[in-house]
Amino acid sequence: MGLLFFSFALKNIFRNKWRSTFIIILLVIGIFALLFSEASSEISGNLLDNVINESMMNSSFGVNDNLSSLIRNQSLSNSDVNSIDAGVLANESSSLDSINMSNIDEYRKEMTKGVKMFFFYLNLFFVFIGSIIIMVAMLKAVGERTREIGVLKSIGWTNLRVSGLILLESLFQLFMAWFVVTVLLLIFYMTNGHTINETFVNTLHMNISIVYRIFAVTFLTSLFIPIIGVILPLLRVFRIKPDEAMRY
């Protein structure tokens, strides 16, 4: 049962090879854009953390150094200054330090949130463009196959089943695009693996789980492209009446 359905959807893709190839190429570009956006979001978040952490470390070290030198100087120059004075000074400076820390932490959160939001909207934009491409292609396909959809309905296929076929077809196109992306990335990794490892692991301190997360998030995001893209074509499928389609 499922086999016929899958083979029907696959055969529909290869029916108009040029159009399918064009769509798959556009989807490949779209997936790369999504991957780039998602990776940029992760990397920039990571970079931001690193930069802020480093600056925090420097500033806190600076404060501690000044304090200790101040205490040291006080102890040396005035032997009457007791340990309570030093304790008071240390307490004051540590409360100042914690205020700075919480401010920086808030700032870091705000910055990270802003960067993430920017890339989230960029992803939305790519999904929107991809959905438009799929929508135009599937509307054309539904238009060309009006008679066939009428035949399918006349032999008892429900609207839901015909819609499933159209959705599966666009999902297949997405999977094919993902296959192309994976192959291209593997080729790129095989030729530039050392540089990539150097950049991601050593410089940006990113581990492999982050790379997996980037792919997983991009894959899930890209699934929205065919799902949103087929909404309008499916509405057209629902409106096709079998008797009218036969005269098409």
Partner 1 sequence: MIKVKNLTKMYDKGKTVALNDVNLDIEDGEFVSIMGTSGSGKSTLLNMIGGLDVPDAGIVEVMGEDLSKINLSRYRRETVGFIFQLHNLIPNLTCLENVELPLFGSVKSFDMKNRALDLLEAVGLNSLANKYPNKLSGGQMQRVAVARALVNDPKVVLADEPTGQLDSENSELIMDLMQEKQEETNTTLCVVTHDFEIAKKAEKIIKIKDGQIESV
* Choices 44-52, 106-114, 122-130, 240-248 (CB under 8 A): range interacting with partner 1: 240-248
Q: Select from 6, 1, 2 the least CA-distant residue to 167.
A: 6
Cα distances from 133 to residues 15, 196, 206, 228, in angstroms, run 18, 32, 34, 11
240 conformational bin, left if phi > 0, alpha if psi -120 to 50, beta if neither: beta
Residues 6 or more apart from 61 whose CB is under 8 A from it? none
By CB under 8 A, the residues from 116 to 155 that bind partner 1 are 147-148, 151-155
Contact between 21 and partner 1 by CB under 8 A: the answer reads no
* CB of 194 or CB of 241, closer to partner 1: 241
Let me know: does 178 contact 219? Beta carbons within 8 Å: yes
* CB of 155 or CB of 220, closer to partner 1: 155
Contact between 8 and partner 1 by CB under 8 A: the answer reads yes
- Among residues 7, 69, 73, 195, which is the contact residue for partner 1, using CB under 8 A? 7
Contact between 17 and partner 1 by CB under 8 A: the answer reads no
By CB under 8 A, the residues from 153 to 192 that bind partner 1 are 153-159, 161
Contact between 95 and partner 1 by CB under 8 A: the answer reads no
Contact between 48 and partner 1 by CB under 8 A: the answer reads no
CA geometry: angle 207, 30, 187, nearest 5 deg? 55
* Choices 9-17, 66-74, 78-86, 115-123 (CB under 8 A): range interacting with partner 1: 9-17
* CB of 95 or CB of 154, closer to partner 1: 154
d(C-alpha 173, C-alpha 27), whole Å: 8
* Choices 1-9, 36-44, 167-175, 179-187 (CB under 8 A): range interacting with partner 1: 1-9
Give me the amino acid identity at 62: G
How many CA atoms lie less than 13 Å away from 153 in the CB half-sphere? Answer: 20
Let me know: does 221 contact 123? Beta carbons within 8 Å: yes
Query: Where along the sequence are the contacts to partner 1 (CB under 8 A)?
Result: 1-5, 7-8, 11-12, 14-15, 147-148, 151-159, 161, 241-243, 246
